[in-house]
Structures are given as structure tokens and as C-alpha cells.
Amino acid sequence: MNKVTILGSLNVDTILRIKRFPKPGETLPLIGKSIAGGGKGANQAIAAARAGAHTTFIGKVGQDQAGDFMVKQLTDSGVDDQFVQHSSEADTGSAIIMLDNSSENRILIDGGTNQQVTPADVDLAQSAIAESDFLIAQFETPQATTTHAFELAHAAKKRTILNPAPATTEVPAALLKLTDLIIPNETETETLTGVHVTDEHSMIKAAEACQALGVANVIITVGSKGAFWMRGQKHGFVPAYKVNAVDTTAAGDTFIGALSSVLTTDFSNLAEAVRFANRASSLAVQKLGAQPSIPTEAAILAAERA
């Protein structure tokens, strides 16, 4: 069983279902509304735990009902919450997700307490990082905090995984050099490298650009098409499983969490781990909501056998 520590965000998602996205100045009626747990960090942690990893979370919530709700989402899935801090200085993070009939989404985020996670908060979890196989982070918490966490991980000779999302052009060079595996989607890849991903040739070029920035191992996710991987000079493409998607909100987070549960620390099984992660994502997109849709290890293995 892999041990995974995740530094990241916790958001309460409000999901607004609409037939199509409104035009500027246009008012449209909702066809449904629901509340669910979210935040890239929390999604990835729950995905890792449900896929079988021993998972610990580093993050921050407000002293409010939303914070209590989010901590319960973690613990109900078996995530260790001892390093989730409570703050009275801001509300728990939240997101508004517009989901149309074609399963496309548009998301607005209020970072709240996610933006208050500090290096000192990470220091409290130093022992958990040192005992982990992987430390995972995203860009919904401060990058300075992530850089500090990755420094601690490397000092303990632990592997780091960076999901550079949401996309930003302002990524510290020091953080990339501390990253052992980077997992962007097409948009994040282009923002990071300047390479527009359209085919295998451009994926290779983009992955090589990531390696030039200091990241030896790269996975580029391309939605319903699948995922490209590069490890050193070796590379390949793992097609996605074909399913009828209902909600793609947590597909990428499910991929990363599931991947971390089976990946070896020398990355020698990268292609096999990507295949397992693809299967997990294929199950997640068939249900509504971020965290409610994330599958368990039993469900993933059953789908593999089917």
C-alpha cells in the first residue's frame, strides 16, 4: 500500500445544471442544483484513499459548517485529517460549477482559507511527509507553501508530484526543479511550455520542454482521448476508456489520486499506473458531482475485470 500525503485545497462545490452556458447579458433557468465536496486537493486525496493508498491531507478550512462538512468528506473516505487546520480569518473555500447538457463545465472559485495555508502548517506535517512515498500538490494553495513542502520531501528523499492547475504562467523555477512528476492537461501544458498540444509529436515536444525545466517524468492528460507519458527518453500514449460522460468535474483529480495509489517510486510502472488511473477516471465521469463520483479500489478492479 502506497503512503501519500497531499497538500491542497478544500472547497464546497455548488453545482448548477443548465442546458447550455448563457451568453453575455442572458438569463437562463437552472435545471438542477446540488452541493458536494470539492477542491482539487481534497478530490485527489479522496481518490487516492478510495483507490487503496494510506492518505494524509495538509490544508485549512474555516470555523464554519462548510469546514466541518469538508473534514467529514475526508474522514468518511479514510483520509487522515490531523493536519487540516481551522482558521477564523476566512471562510472555507468554495466553488460554483456550471454544468451543461454536454457535460462541459465552467468553474468559479473563492479560495478562502485555502490561500492561508503556510509553510508553518506544512512543518507540522513534516513527519507525515517523511513517511510517505509521494507528496502531491496543486495550485489552489500558495506556491511558496508548495515549494517549501517539496523541499522537505526532497530532503527526506521522497517523490513529489505536481498538478499545475489552475493554469498559470508564474511557476517558480525552484518548484519545478523539486518536482519528480508533473501532470498537466492540454491547457496547463500550453501555459507552462508554450506548446499547443494537438498530436503525439506536440506531446513529445511539450514533455521535453517540461524536462528542460527540470521535471524528469511527465504525464499530459488529454481528456476523453487518454494520457501521454514520458519517463526519461521513453514515452507512450494510453487511450481513455470510452464511456458516456455525465460530469467531468473531478476526472483529472481522480486520475492523479488513483495513479498515486499504484505508482512505484522509481516510476518504472508509469504506463500501467496511467492505465489504472484512466479506468478510475472513466468511472468518475459517469456520475454527478466531484467527490461523490470518485470510485473505490473495488469498483476500479471490478471494471478492469469486466
Classify residue 150 as left (phi > 0), alpha (psi -120 to 50) or beta.
Answer: alpha
Q: Does 34 show up as a binding residue in the annotation?
A: no
pLDDT given for residue 31 in this prediction: 94
223 labeled part of a ligand binding site: yes
- Looking at residue 9, its pLDDT comes to 98
Which CATH number fits the domain that encloses residue 211? 3.40.1190.20
For residue 141, give its domain range.
3-305
Note the pLDDT tens digit of each residue in 34-59: 998 999 999 999 999 999 999 999 99
β pairing state of 54-62 and 226-231: unpaired
- Residue with the bigger pLDDT between 180 and 36: it is 180
- pLDDT over 90 at 104, yes or no: no
Helix (H) or strand (E) holding 237: strand 234-239
Active-site choice (64, 133, 253, 266): 253
Find out whether 226 is annotated in a ligand binding site: yes
pLDDT digits (tens, 9 = 90+) for 191-236: 999 999 999 999 999 999 999 999 999 999 999 999 999 999 999 9
What's the one-letter identity of residue 294? I
Q: What mean pLDDT comes out for the span 167-188?
A: 97
Q: Tell me the average pLDDT across 117-123.
A: 98
Domain count, the chain: 1
For residue 210, how many other CB atoms are within 10 A of its CB? Answer: 25
Cα–Cα distance, 306 to 294 (Å, whole number)? 18
Confirm or deny that 43 is annotated as ligand binding. yes
Residues in the chain: 306
Strands 80-87 and 226-231 come out as unpaired
Could you give the CA distance from residue 79 to residue 294 in angstroms, rounded to a whole number? 14
| Residue 115: how many other CB atoms lie within 10 Å | 15
Asked if residue 246 has pLDDT above 90, the reply is no
Across the range 104-125, mean pLDDT stands at 95
Average pLDDT, the chain: 96
Residue 278 assigned to a binding site: yes
- 293 contacts: CB under 8 Å, gap ≥ 6: 247, 249, 250, 254, 283, 284, 285, 286, 287
Residue indicated by cell numbers 495550485: 139
Residues 6+ apart with CB under 8 A from 18: 28, 29, 30, 31, 98, 99, 100, 101
Query: How many of the other CB atoms lie within 10 Å of CB of 78?
Result: 15
Strand partners, 134: 4, 159
- pTM for the model: 0.94
The reply to whether 253 belongs to the active site is yes
